[in-house]
Amino acid sequence: MRKNSIIISLVFCVLFLGGIQAQTTKRASIPLEHGAHRIGPRTDAEMQKWRDYGLGQFIHWGVYAIPGGHWNGEVYRGAAEWIRSWSKMPKPDYDNLYKQFNPKNFDAKQWAKQAKDMGVKYMIITTKHHDGFCLWPSKYTGYTIANTPYKKDIIKELVDAYNAEGIDVTLYFSIIDWNHKGYRSSPPKTDEEKASYEEFKQFTRNQLIELLQNYPTAIGLWFDGTWDQAWIQQAAWVDELETELRAMHPGLIIGSRFRADDNGKRHYDSNGDLLGDYDQTWERSMPETLEELNGVDWDCVMTIPENQWGYHSDWSLSYVKKPFELIEMIVKAASLNGNFVLNFGPDGNGNIRPEETQIAKEIGAWMKVNGEAIYGCRHSAWEKQGWGYYTQRAAVETGAPSLQYLTVFNQPLNNQVRVKVPKCQDNNKVVIVEKAYFLADKTPLTVKSAGRDKYGNVYYDINSPAPLTTSPYVIVLETKEVNKDEKDNYQQAIT
Ligand code: FHN
């Protein structure tokens, strides 16, 4: 009996303090044949691992890296990987670029090592972007790496190299394919168009099966280009395909961009339930609060310049984010239960540009010291304050204290980092701070009571002398729930 109640309390603490708000109820009940397959987050080991990654790397690489945002002396101001769609880019010229694709400096092991040093836990690689060029030797088209001077299977090289560094790989796949004659964005009308679109669907299915067969260690498929009406109207077929792919690759992780529901609704079905395993709507944007997230898993994919995914040689065209801002995004994502995925666009020779290398180094140096506040961490029930973000690690069954990580971006002028202690569900209990210290070197920090407000909320000040570095730093609080009378003794001890 006692054991049961301990287990129930632990489960409650993990769910409540972890801020995981499971999506337990449907917001409407419209009958759907192709709606969400599941209500609420996945609970299997693969998804749990995904949830703990914290930091990912996106790589956009393809033949668009050769022009790098330029053609015939003119600059394309759009996203470099879209250059084929530019009126000043002759299509036959673009479609023949693959004959020059020979990235002589490409070293998959070096990319993987750099990612590892940056603290990346998973990587998403564009197997095929909208232009249709395949970085793997697909047997279903000639427009692949096999027919370039480079010849070798780049996806295999990358999967092997990243896996060897302990980094999981997700395969990005664009449904848009400008190279396939059957591809179209609007729904087919004539019989001829319909037949041609059927061929395209079969081709897409074949390629997806081929990818999962060729790269069995891939953990997921990251779909893109699924906004076309032609694709949206294939809800039943795509649903069947998703089921097939999941059956052939147990644990496969697919986000909300793959399929629409019966009514053409994307990401969330007509009942408001998530389509897929995690919300893929956070592209170059981030949520501000947990309430916006419907209790679902999510990733944020982010570019370093404003909107360049593939290699564009001229980064002066837009604002370029600084490591400090990117680190803040990593922490913010973790504080809201999301993974942050930073994009890299290597050049046509296989070089990662120096600016990206520098950013990777700076993020890596920070993650090495502070990664404990990111990996495996969750949203904290402690109310966000102006100095930065909380993340937390829930108490484990060993009875270890619950850890609150405070990543401080705005150092208070008086060096007092103020925290507001959350109230316990059990009225007879209070949360106490047992210990406070810098994560970097474990220097103990003094905690002083800072009184109560008129609502009875309790505050503490953590005396945090100006940090040794100018980068954000982490304070760890070891906290515990105790009975109210125990707290009084404790408080005398620390004030
Ligand atoms: O059009 C693409 C774009 O080029 C890039 O691949 C991004 C990455 O999320 N996805 C599409 C826009 O949503």
The rounded distance, in Å, linking the Cα atoms of 156 and 136 is 7
Q: Identify the pLDDT of residue 394.
A: 62
Which residue CA neighbors atom 3 of ligand 1 most closely?
A: 309
Which residue CA neighbors atom 1 of ligand 1 most closely?
A: 225
Residue for token pair 């692949």: 144
Distance 440 CA to ligand 1 centre (A): 37
Judgement on whether residues 10 and 64 belong to the same structural domain of the protein: no
Burial 137-167 (b: 16+ CB within 10 A, else e): bbebbebbbbbbebeebbbbbbbbbbbebeb
**Quick check: is 263 in a domain?**
yes
The rounded distance, in Å, linking the Cα atoms of 328 and 348 is 31
How many separate domains does the chain show?
2
Judgement on whether residues 159 and 219 belong to the same structural domain of the protein: yes
- As a whole number, mean pLDDT of residues 157-177 equals 99
Select from 317, 340, 372 the last residue of a domain.
372
Distance 342 CA to ligand 1 centre (A): 13
**φ/ψ of residue 462, rounded to 5:** -100, 120
Domain that holds residue 411: 3-16+380-494
SS3 88: coil
Distance 231 CA to ligand 1 centre (A): 16
The rounded distance, in Å, linking the Cα atoms of 312 and 317 is 10
Judgement on whether residues 397 and 342 belong to the same structural domain of the protein: no
Select from 323, 340, 372 the last residue of a domain.
372
Structure tokens at 283: 């592209």
Which residue CA neighbors atom 5 of ligand 1 most closely?
A: 309
Give residue-wise pLDDT tens across range 165-174: 999 999 999 9
Q: Identify the pLDDT of residue 26.
A: 52
- As a whole number, mean pLDDT of residues 141-168 equals 99
SS3 59: strand
**Quick check: is 30 in a domain?**
no
Provide the pairing of β-strand 298-302 with 279-283: parallel
Select from 354, 372, 390 the last residue of a domain.
372
Judgement on whether residues 222 and 358 belong to the same structural domain of the protein: yes
Residue 18 has pLDDT above 50, yes or no: no
Check residue 423 and report its DSSP letter.
Answer: P
The rounded distance, in Å, linking the Cα atoms of 131 and 147 is 16
Judgement on whether residues 320 and 450 belong to the same structural domain of the protein: no
- As a whole number, mean pLDDT of residues 246-255 equals 98
Distance 130 CA to ligand 1 centre (A): 9
Distance 224 CA to ligand 1 centre (A): 7
Distance 55 CA to ligand 1 centre (A): 19
| Cβ-based neighbours of 8, under 8 Å, separated by 6 or more | none
Q: To 10 degrees, what angle do helices 191-214 and 154-164 make?
A: 40
> Is 131 a pocket residue for ligand 1 (Cβ < 6 Å)?
no
> Is 301 a pocket residue for ligand 1 (Cβ < 6 Å)?
yes
> Is 183 a pocket residue for ligand 1 (Cβ < 6 Å)?
no
Residue 17 has pLDDT above 70, yes or no: no
pTM, 2 dp:
0.93
> Is 283 a pocket residue for ligand 1 (Cβ < 6 Å)?
yes
Check residue 386 and report its DSSP letter.
Answer: T
> Is 224 a pocket residue for ligand 1 (Cβ < 6 Å)?
yes
